[in-house]
């Protein structure tokens, strides 16, 4: 109740102040200038402020590009990723050119054509030539970007299994990922959430022979230079499979299978040895070392040293532990990949061991 009364009192004080300002304006008489109408001095001040704001805007923009560019992702680790980056940089470049020119003109014109007593602005209702120019230029620019993007999108999405890619299912659930590798037949067995029971955590149909040689893992291994076709399923809610270093992302939708493909072209070891990643790991470990000193002073365990790994992340807010929904990805040589895959148990073997 006290808070409510305080709010009422403050509101009444505000209304009183506003009414007193009106009375003060009326007391000046009919010949006095109104403070609500800008005069030449006001216009000069605002015009100069526009120029100063333009300078502040460009200095801040240049600083941001210089200071934060180090946080950009490293070189794309997939064949199509370079095309995605090129498209993004072209888009940023076009936007920046237009932004720099239009903002400069906006602020300069605000200064050059500042309001002055007695001046009247030129006005015309329409100009067909200008309207054609500022319509056709964006149309051509956007059409070029869209067509370029569609070609890249087609390379990722329009994959035929006749091309013999490696087929891997990514299964999402709150709050973890599982990978299912097609066996020697390179064909995934039938799966449905209705079949989930016990150790059959991804819902494979035990009566489908295609499922017998499938291999289910909690770590994703990919061979470098080989095309991989990913198929996505969700057990519960909408997730989003995000491969930031490979420039790929796909929604994982309950009740349906989505898919895309990419070809990894930089191994985990090669990425770790890159100049960008060496500097990044060095910086992170330096920070961790400093933080560990404070932790050890309080009797807690120090932080582990950081080592780079690729990760699959969830890019949809899918619940309380969304931030921790990730799976390690290892990109390696084909020989190392085949060796690792041969060590994984087949689904039929896992089911037989539980009988």
Distance set, CA 195 to CA 203, 204, 214 (Å): 4, 6, 15
pLDDT in tens, the chain (355 residues): 676 777 887 887 787 877 766 666 666 555 555 556 768 788 888 889 999 999 999 999 999 988 888 788 888 999 888 888 988 888 888 888 888 998 999 999 989 888 888 788 777 778 888 888 888 988 888 888 888 888 878 877 777 666 788 999 999 999 999 999 988 888 888 988 888 888 888 889 888 888 888 999 999 999 999 999 999 999 999 999 999 999 999 999 998 999 989 999 999 999 999 999 999 999 999 999 999 988 888 888 888 899 999 999 999 998 888 989 999 999 999 999 999 999 998 888 888 776 6
CA–CA separation, 182 vs 217, rounded Å?
Answer: 12
Query: In 140-165, which positions are buried (b, 16+ CB within 10 angstroms) versus exposed (e)?
Result: eeeeeeeeeeeebbebbeebeeeeeb
CA–CA separation, 77 vs 272, rounded Å?
Answer: 12
Give pLDDT, residue 268: 95
CA–CA separation, 254 vs 277, rounded Å?
Answer: 36
CA–CA separation, 232 vs 29, rounded Å?
Answer: 76
* pLDDT tens digits, one per residue of 177-196: 999 998 888 888 898 888 88
Give pLDDT, residue 178: 94
**Is the Cβ–Cβ distance between 322 and 203 less than 8 Å?**
no
| The two three-digit tokens of residue 36, written as one number | 């609500």
Distance set, CA 299 to CA 289, 305, 324 (Å): 15, 18, 26
Give pLDDT, residue 83: 87
Give pLDDT, residue 2: 73
Residue 26 per-residue DSSP state: H
* pLDDT tens digits, one per residue of 253-271: 998 999 989 999 999 999 9
Domains identified in the chain and CATH numbers: 43-115+128-158 (no CATH), 166-270+305-353 (2.60.40.420)
**Is the Cβ–Cβ distance between 36 and 18 less than 8 Å?**
no
Q: Where are the beta strands (DSSP E) in 190-278?
A: 215-217, 220-223, 228-234, 239-243, 248-252, 258-262
Distance set, CA 71 to CA 248, 283, 338 (Å): 19, 12, 34
């Amino acid at each position: 109740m006290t808070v409510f009364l305080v709010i009422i009192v403050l509101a009444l004080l505000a209304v009183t102040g506003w009414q007193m300002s009106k009375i003060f304006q009326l007391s000046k008489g009919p010949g006095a200038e109104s403070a609500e109408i800008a005069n030449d001095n006001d216009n000069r001040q605002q015009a100069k402020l526009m120029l100063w704001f333009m300078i502040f805007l460009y200095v801040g923009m240049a600083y941001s590009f210089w200071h934060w560019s180090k946080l950009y992702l490293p070189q794309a680790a997939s064949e199509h990723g370079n095309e995605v980056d090129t498209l993004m940089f072209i888009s940023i470049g076009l936007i920046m050119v237009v932004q720099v020119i239009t903002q400069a003109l906006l602020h300069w014109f605000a200064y050059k054509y500042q309001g002055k007593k007695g001046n009247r602005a030129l006005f015309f209702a329409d100009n067909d030539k200008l309207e054609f120019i500022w319509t056709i230029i964006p149309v051509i620019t956007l059409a070029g970007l869209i067509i370029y993007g569609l070609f890249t999108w087609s390379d990722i999405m329009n994959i035929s299994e006749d091309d013999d890619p490696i087929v891997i299912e990514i299964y999402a659930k709150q709050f973890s990922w599982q990978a299912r590798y097609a066996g020697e037949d390179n064909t995934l067995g039938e799966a449905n959430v209705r079949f989930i029971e016990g150790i059959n955590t991804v819902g494979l149909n035990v009566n489908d022979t295609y499922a017998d040689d499938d291999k289910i893992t909690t770590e994703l291994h990919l061979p470098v230079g080989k095309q991989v076709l990913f198929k996505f399923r969700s057990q519960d809610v909408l997730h989003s499979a995000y491969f930031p270093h490979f420039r790929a992302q796909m929604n994982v939708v309950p009740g349906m299978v989505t898919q895309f493909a990419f070809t990894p072209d930089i191994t985990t070891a090669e990425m770790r040895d890159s100049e960008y990643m060496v500097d990044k790991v060095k910086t992170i470990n330096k920070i961790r070392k400093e933080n560990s000193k404070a932790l050890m002073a309080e009797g807690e365990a120090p932080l582990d040293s950081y080592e780079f790994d690729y990760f699959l992340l969830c890019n949809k807010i899918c619940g309380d532990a969304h931030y921790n929904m990730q799976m390690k990805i290892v990109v390696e040589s084909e020989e190392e990949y085949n060796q690792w895959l041969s060590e994984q148990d087949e689904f039929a073997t896992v089911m037989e061991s539980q009988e």
